[in-house]
């Protein structure tokens, strides 16, 4: 179980999250650090750290902390110069005192105690997982395709799409209960209309079973056939909904079973 957060910690996170994400004009400095010469993001190391905090806190259901870290990530992405201390971003709207302290801690020690604790509690993040701050909730359109391409997702080939269509035509002749039994055998979602179950079984037959979410360990991954991305909708445990932010294009499927 995730450790309980103190009221002060929750209030602090909520206070940060409430701050608007409009930036004040930066304070001019004669010794301001130069921007990255190659045009790359000069603060990617900090972004990676706060994105990891965002993902872990989201897994724990800490809404306000997640919102606060998302704002910090967006602020860091918009900066053209290298941050060398928490003081460099303290004057920017959307950045709270706790995030300023974490920035200084990371730049001074190379790590953040809170992040180390979360890693020890939950384990490492799955390889290829896309940060929710980057995905922005996009599931269709150009934004989703761009995210999928960056994540290394592989949508079905023309041959696979034809095979899925052929398999769907075969499954159409089966009863609703037979399709549900087949989904159960392959540990897939059993709910939905017959057409949804037919499509699910057809995709599974050609591409393989979609696994349980490797991040939350309880959600059944949803597959977006147009982009090749996998998303976890979360799951219900003891009548309590557990949200999940897992999104990836590099999920390993296992062989589909047809049963007797």
Q: Is 142 a catalytic residue?
A: no
Q: How far is CA 252 from the centre of its chain?
A: 17
Query: Which of 29, 63, 101, 102 is labelled catalytic?
Result: 102
> In DSSP terms, which residues pair with 209 in a beta bridge?
254
Count of residues in the chain: 260
CB 81 within 8 A of CB 36: no
What is the C-alpha to C-alpha distance for residues 259 and 53, in angstroms, rounded to an integer?
Answer: 43
Residues 6 or more apart whose Cβ sits within 8 Å of residue 219: 212, 213, 232, 233, 234, 235, 242, 244, 246
* Look-up of token digits 């799409």: 161
User: Within 13 Å and on the Cβ side, how many CA atoms surround 85?
Assistant: 5
In sequence order, the β-bridge partners of residue 242 are 235
Lookup: tokens for 16: 């940060």
Distance CA 54, CA 72 (A): 10
For 183, list phi and psi in degrees, rounded to 5: -65, -40
Q: Rounded to 5 degrees, what are φ and ψ at 255?
A: -60, 140
Residue 210 in contact with residue 230, Cβ under 8 Å?
yes
Question: Mind telling me the catalytic residues?
Answer: 102
């Amino acid at each position: 179980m995730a450790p309980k957060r103190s009221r002060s910690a929750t209030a602090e996170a909520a206070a940060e999250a409430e701050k608007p994400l409009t930036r004040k004009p930066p304070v001019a400095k004669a010794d301001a650090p130069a921007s990255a010469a190659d045009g790359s993001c000069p603060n990617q190391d900090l972004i990676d750290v706060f994105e990891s905090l965002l993902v872990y806190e989201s897994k724990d259901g800490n809404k306000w902390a997640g919102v606060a870290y998302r704002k910090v990530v967006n602020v860091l992405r918009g900066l053209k110069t290298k941050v060398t201390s928490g003081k460099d971003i303290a004057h920017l709207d959307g950045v709270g005192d706790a995030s300023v302290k974490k920035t200084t801690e990371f730049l001074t020690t190379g790590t953040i105690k809170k992040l180390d604790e979360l890693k020890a509690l939950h384990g490492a993040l799955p390889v290829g997982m896309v940060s929710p701050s980057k995905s922005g909730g996009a599931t269709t359109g150009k934004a989703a395709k761009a995210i999928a391409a960056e994540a290394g997702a592989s949508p079905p080939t023309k041959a696979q799409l034809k095979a899925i269509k052929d398999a769907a035509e075969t499954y159409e002749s089966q009863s609703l209960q037979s399709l549900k039994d087949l989904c159960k055998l392959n540990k897939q979602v059993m709910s939905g209309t017959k057409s949804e179950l037919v499509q699910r079984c057809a995709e599974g037959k050609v591409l393989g079973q979609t696994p349980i979410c490797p991040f939350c360990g309880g959600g059944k991954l949803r597959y977006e056939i147009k982009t090749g991305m996998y998303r976890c909708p979360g799951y219900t445990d003891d009548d309590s909904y557990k949200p999940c932010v897992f999104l990836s294009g590099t999920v390993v499927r296992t062989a589909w079973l047809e049963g007797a």
